[in-house]
Each structure stands twice: as C-alpha cells, then as structure tokens.
Amino acid sequence: MTGRVVSVADSDTLTVLHDRKPVRVRLTEIDAPERGQPFGRRSTQSLRGMCANTVARVQIAGTDRYQRTLGRVWCGGLDTSAEQVRRGMAWVYDQYVTDQDLYAVQKTARLTGRGLWAEPAPVPPWLWRRGVTAVSADGTPASKPARSNTIIGNRAAASIICRPAAPAMTGCRPGIVCCSGPRRQPVPPVTALRATAVDQMSLPSRCQHGIAGMGERNGENALVA
C-alpha cells in the first residue's frame, strides 16, 4: 500500500491517505515512548520529521485490536522502524519483533547513548503502560506498578462491580454488579471515588465487606482500577 502521510499521531502511529481514504497505521517491530513518558515528544517529532507530507510505502502485516493497520513503513525510502531504533527513539518490541537484525541496531544506539539511551535506565513503554516508572540496569522493574484505590461504579445500576476473583460474593461474576452477602443489593453511585470516600458513604452493611481500606486482602471483592 502506498499513500501520502497526512498526520503523525505519536511516535509509532501515522495516517496514510490511500485511495482517498485515511488509513491509520501502527508501525511494526518497535514500541516507542508514550505521551508523558521521557522522550515521548522527541520520538513523535522524529517520526513526523521523517514522514509528514511524504509518500509512504506500507508493507501490511495485519490489524490490531484497535483496528489500526499494522505495517512496516518506508517514508521517502527510509525504513521508519529501523530509523527510530537507530536514533534511539524506540525500542525493538520484544513481544512482536520478527526482524532480529534490529537488535544489532538497538545495541549500537544504546552503546553510543543516542536518544533515550542517554538515560541510565530508560523504562520500556510496555512496562510504563503497566505503571512501572523505574527499571534496574538489566531492565527489570525497580518500582512496583502503581496501584490505584479507585473503585469503579456502574452508573446505570449504581452498584459496586465485582473483580474476577470474588468467590465470597454469591452470584458475583466479572462485570456483574453486586455486594457481598446472601443477595445482591444496590449501593449509591461510586464512579471514580477513592476508597476512603466510599468508606464514608452510607452503604448497606452487606456491601461493606471487601471495600474498607482496599488493601491486598480487603480489596478482593471490589473492582480496583
């Protein structure tokens, strides 16, 4: 597929106009810094500088769960996935990479301190999306993923939503609103409220179990975002 690049959304996603229709393309082989992550903006600028308003050739590999076209993209004859890695603006995406030669390119970028490799221990985006904010020298998480105590309420039913592991709650299944106890019972709206705020609400007694404190053990029966 070929077409003109009409927009660059972020550091590994762009839109190509093909047959007068916009096609959103996610670059294969790489994973680049997220918005808000160190080097996220610079990585986006790097891809935009390569591809904006150029004619791109896309080697299509499939479609992802967001209905984006997956493909290896060449802008002006430049392999964007390889070039992002060479500039230190992206990681080789370990989980999905098929081009093993990219690891040599990444190694050179790391040893020469290009781009994100100027940082002593940059966090890969697949860990960043899980809430990891620091890694050790060998790339293993040095910080635990952030855990939020936000309870997600069901606006329509105004009830607590069960977590998948909630055996103590009769009739409770993932995505089903209910409280602990012999039967399900509605509770006040709980959309985006912290556990401390929920604790102060007047909830039916049979709904208190699994909410107070939202600790590792006490939080088993409520959905935590």
Q: Annotated catalytic sites, by residue?
A: 26, 34, 68
User: How far is C-alpha 109 from the chain's CA centre?
Assistant: 24
User: How buried is 94 (Cβ within 10 angstroms: 0-12 exposed, 13-18 middle, 19+ buried)?
Assistant: exposed
